[in-house]
Chains A and B, each alone.
Chain A
Amino acid sequence: MDYWRKSPKVFWSFGIPPTIWLFALFLAPLFLVWGLSFGEKQGIIEVAITGTLENYSRAVQPLYLQIFLKSFWYAGLTTFFCLVISFPIALAITSASERWKPILLLLVILPFWTNLLIRTYALIAVLRTNGYLNDLLELIWLSADSGLRILGLGDWNLFGERFHRFELLYNNFAVVYGLVYVHLPFMVLPLYAALDRMDRSYIEASLDLGAGQWRTFRSVIVPLALPGIISGVIITFIPALGSYLTPDLLGGTDSQMIANVIERQFKSANDWPFGAALSFLLMYLTFFALAVRALLTRHNEKGLA
């Protein structure tokens, strides 16, 4: 631990660049936006930082709180589905052979090599009314129907007279679907990391001592994977909360999330102070949720002790 005392040059030469990075490219801009949130618009482009709280009092109006609530709901749903889908995927990767593991992990990371925008447009091509998914379903319907005809049941129209294409895009389902699709790797990776570290003998012991599969999963695997679950939930939930591209491109007329409102403040509404206040309110709410979560965990640990 005293390493930095012994060779300070090495320490500083490794420590300073990331520190500068953090300050110049993250904390300083964040501070500017924070300052802006206490500003007032003066004319078209000038903003005076007056220390006013007007932006915040506007941001806690029921209209905006309702949109915040909706965003939390969407992000929560996304996180839930990601967790449910990712757990078996992560388990499968951990139990794969050493030769397959890197390949499977690569497949999980592969989507990141493509820009989010391109992936979202690809999703549009898949999901739209005349898209690939509906084409495929129609193909299945047609072959099933002709199968029936061969069996002499064609006149009964058991599957309906004709195939009705599903309207999969431009609704809230599409938004959550898109968010789950985009955030899945964020959940798989920490889960995999946690599960892969787990000592298999615990599972064997649990099974040997008479616990069933479900009991073993619930009382052994899940508690051991808990750190991975928590970090997965956090790094899925937070970016999902701030999504704006997905609701913008896949959502219907009622899919507005808070980030869409924030974006408009910086663009068409040209009200940067209010946009800054909304952004910080979102950040405070996120911190608050994390703090509550941390308190609960600590409480639980005490309860167990």
Chain B
Amino acid sequence: MKMNPKNNSRPSRRHFLRRLGAVAAGLTLLPREGWSAEEKKLNFYNWDTYIGETTLDDFRNDSGIAVSMDLFADNDELFAKLKEGNPGYDVIVPTNDFVERMIRANMLFKLDHSKIPNFKNIDKAFRDAAFDPKRAYSMPYMWGTIGIGYRKSKVSKVPDSWSTLFASSEYSGRIAVLNSPSETVPVAMKYLGHSLNTTDPAVVKAVEDLMIKQKKHIKVFAEDNGQDLLLSGEVDLTMEYNGDIIQVQEEDDDIAYIVPKEGTLLWEDCLCIPKGAPHPENAHAFMNYLLDGDAGALIADFIQYATPNSVAKAKLGDEYRNNPAIFPTDDVLGRSESSKYRGEAMQRLFDEAWTRISAA
């Protein structure tokens, strides 16, 4: 008989909980020594609304391991938290460019693939990655795009170009753009016709000029809460992650999502074990569980992000599999790129450009 775990209702004020979670994460966890027979515990550091409704309870019923989950709001927070030593996390969920950065900084534990047999469920395209050759340090969890979420009844035509956000006055004061140099600057580079991994300072400068010129038409540099601004009618167009928009689409079907024709930034969130993890054995077991076909299907169905797990995907309905907001067409994919780790000097250029944009 299957135990029926408590049904958590989905929080509708995600960004708010995100920040609260971040505050709480700062108050918990001390490192403990690992020993061969690990205690049945696991500390999971995850994004908010980024796991199935019952996944953690199901895993405990399955393995006896109790998972305590803390939430972070962005990769920078995750990185800053782990940079001075792991405060006790076993599994973390960094995005691809941060996986690369953390591998270079020697912050990740090399995975034992023999303990993750479910890796075979992963689509071939994701079994190797430029940022982590042979998947030595990371397992793919979810992937997606950054695009434009918009209110259908308030736009004259489908905003199929980044120029709608970055170089047009048509929707003056109705636009939100992510307040994040490491997402917005690369996407703007893409709009200007460059690779989003360009390391040419002149291109960064061009992005800076573009944004300063466009600023008067942008209402807010949003803290990853663009979907809420869209939902509450504060803006009509927002640059956001696809999953965030899909989640509010369920509350309001006047909202749509599109990846502009210039292409976009592809991201992939990965499961990793940080160095100093107190329960590495449990961490492998947990990762293996998340890559399971059934568990993966439950997660993907709940959070509505694209799963790299082909077994899980096959178990889900057409509505999920054929949703272009979740799985972009090959055409769109062909014009998009994923972010590489750019190096610390580039990071500084990005930040200085963003400071000047915000100060202008």
Contacts and interface: CB of A to CB of B under 8 A. Distances in A.
Given A249-B223, A252-B220, A270-B347, A43 B359 contact: no
Contacts of B233: 129-130
Interface string A251-273: 11110100011001111111100
Interface residues on B, range: 35 or more
A268 B234 CA distance: 27
Given A253-B219, A264-B354, A117 B76 contact: no
B50 interface: no
B96 to A, nearest CB: 16
Contacts of A256: 355, 358-359
A269 B347 contact: yes
B30 interface: no
Interface string B74-87: 10110110010000
Scoring A44, A63, A66 by chain B CB atoms within 10 A of each residue's CB, the highest score goes to A44
Given A67-B359, A128-B234, A253 B220 contact: yes
Contacts, number: 92
Contacts of A63: 352, 355-356, 359
A38 interface: no
B10 interface: no
Given A117-B23, A170-B220, A264-B354, A253 B173 contact: no
Contacts of A288: none
Given A45-B107, A268-B181, A268-B351, A128 B359 contact: no
Contact of A44 (B104, B181, B219, B351): B104
Specify the main secondary structure of chain B where it touches its partner. helix
Interface string B215-236: 1001111010000000011100
B19 A117 contact: yes
Interface residues on A, range: 35 or more
Nearest to B220: A170
A248 interface: yes
Scoring A45, A251, A256 by chain B CB atoms within 10 A of each residue's CB, the highest score goes to A45
Given A128-B232, A254-B360, A266-B80, A45 B351 contact: no
A80 B175 CA distance: 33
B314 to A, nearest CB: 38
A168 to B, nearest CB: 11
Contacts of B356: 63
A195 interface: no
Interface in B225-271: 232-234
A264 B359 CA distance: 14
B234 A130 contact: yes
Interface in A252-304: 252-254, 256, 260-261, 264-271
Contacts of A129: 232-234
Given A67-B355, A268-B351, 13 more contacts: A44-B105, A44-B344, A117-B20, A118-B16, A121-B13, A128-B232, A170-B220, A249-B223, A254-B360, A256-B359, A268-B180, A268-B182, A270-B76
Interface of A: 41, 43-45, 63-64, 66-67, 70, 117-118, 121, 128-130, 167, 169-170, 248-249, 251-254, 256, 260-261, 264-271
Q: Which 4 A-B pairs have the closest CB atoms?
A: A269-B351, A267-B76, A256-B358, A44-B105
11 contacts: A63-B352, A67-B355, A117-B16, A117-B20, A128-B234, A130-B232, A130-B234, A253-B221, A269-B347, A270-B83, A271-B351
